[in-house]
Amino acid sequence: MTKRNKQSVKISLLVVAAVVLVITGHYHDISADNDETYKGLKVFSNVIEQIEKNYVDTVDTKELIQNAIQGMVHSLDPHSQYLTPEAFEELQSGTRGEFEGIGIVITMPKGVLTVVSPIEGTPAYSAGIQSGDIIVKVDGAFTGDMKIWEAVKKMRGLKGTKVVITVMRKGFTEPKDFELVRDIIPLESVKYITLQSGYGYVWITNFQDNTTADLKDALEALESETTPLKGLVLDLRNNPGGPLNQAIEVSDLFLEEGQILSIKGRLEKHTNIFNAHTNSTKREYPIIILINNGSASASEIVAGALQDHKRALIMGTTSFGKGSVQTVKPLGDGSGLKFTIARYYTPSGRSIQAKGIEPDIVVPYSLIDNDEKDDNKIFLKEKDLKNHLESESEKTNQKAKQEEDTEDEKEPVKKKSKYGSLELDNLMADSQVKRALDTLISYDIFKGIKN
């Protein structure tokens, strides 16, 4: 080997070693004493040298090394990533309260760009993008050749601009194009409404740093109404998750004691147990949690904790099944490393990794057509006969109905929530919400029956 080549190998080896040192943070691990590591780095250096010297086109050595690191980290599991400075910036922007884009949470298991869930109220949600959709192309570019941050960057953009995503879905005979107009994506976390006197509904759309505080406000509003709260529907459907501490704090609002979650990693510092604390406000009303295959990560932690403590009935369909914990470490050049440090376990010791939370009662989603479901319409009753005698209550009800109809003409039936508006009619046409409400009402009725 010539003196020049020896120098090139030495420089390449130092560059690669420096990258590995920054990532691991263990400077003493990379040394000549560690034969396997040293030999591997030497081979890696030789490969870079050969490509630099002999590849048909000029290559960017920095990009080569970044791609190599990305491949190494991504081979560990779908949630571990090396984040270039651009990707790291994209990740951070998603926690600042809002961003401009189409409003979906994505993952890339086995290199396939997959929708975890659309964010409620966003262009993707309104266009009908669903959990489990596979994004084949973004503006005509195949996603199979992209890293996840590249796909995110292509889908984000200025409000009012358009992007076309090509989606394959179970039941499609071929991929379908969705043209979406980008918008400001607010990361509002909590919405609530009263479904019926004494029965509340809270939708946690995603977990953010302020989720627990917003949920407290929502619960206090529902609990302070004239009729005491008899039951709560907590909707975690299509909730992709978020910060671990928020999942623990939300669970803690409904638990007085016992374990919420345990995480177990290879290192002792990544192993921990999180317990519930006594709350100043006692919440003893029954709870039904709604989940589906778009409920992931933090939402599965909440559902699993309350299910194991028999504090809530879980209804819907099996959740996504992400039972691992990630951390993000910034690196010196503006890049970052996101990697899995532990698995988590529900209070009973269950790992839901790749299994998901199974509901206590399976209820598939569908829209209810109230007109078609009204079985009473096929039976004639006294009140259906022409010119029947009116009861006293009918007269009173008829007068009240006329006044109500007058009010309806003034303003459509829509109830407001603190974080926007939820339409009660739409919720009542949701089979899972309706089943949850009926179950809570039935429980209250049975509770009052004397033996």
H-helix or E-strand spanning residue 43 = helix 35-54
- Indicate the Cα dihedral angle 314, 317, 321, 323, nearest 10°: 0
* Structure tokens that stand for 176 in this block: 């379908």
Active-site option among 295, 297, 299, 324: 297
Rg of the Cα atoms in the chain: 28
38 neighbors 32 (Cβ within 8 angstroms): yes
133 is catalytic: no
Backbone angles phi, psi at 21, to 5 degrees: -60, -45
What would the two tokens of residue 88 be?
């790291």
User: Nearest-5° angle of CA 14, CA 328, CA 330?
Assistant: 45
Could you tell me which of 213, 212, 232 has the C-alpha nearest to residue 222?
232
Closest CA to 232 of 190, 262, 202: 202
Provide the edge-to-edge strand list for the sheet that holds 287-291.
190-196, 199-204, 231-235, 287-291, 312-316, 361-362
Q: Taking a C-beta distance cutoff of 8 angstroms, is the pair 207, 299 a contact?
A: yes
Taking alpha carbons only, the member of 357, 231, 224 closest to residue 301 is 357
Task: For residue 297, indicate whether it is catalytic.
Answer: yes
Angstrom CA distances, 143 to 100, 132, 135, stand at: 20, 15, 7
Q: Is 322 a catalytic residue?
A: yes
CA–chain centroid gap for 211, Å, is 13
CB atoms within 10 A of CB 103: 26
**Exactly one of 214, 235, 252, 308 is catalytic; which is it?**
308
Cβ within 8 Å of residue 370, ≥6 positions away: 428, 429
87: helix, strand or coil: helix
The single residue of 137, 147, 191, 322 carrying the catalytic annotation is: 322
The pairing of beta strand 287-291 with beta strand 312-316: parallel
Write the CA distances from 94 to 88, 113, 186, 209, 388, integer angstroms: 10, 18, 10, 12, 64
By annotation, the residues acting in catalysis are 297, 308, 322
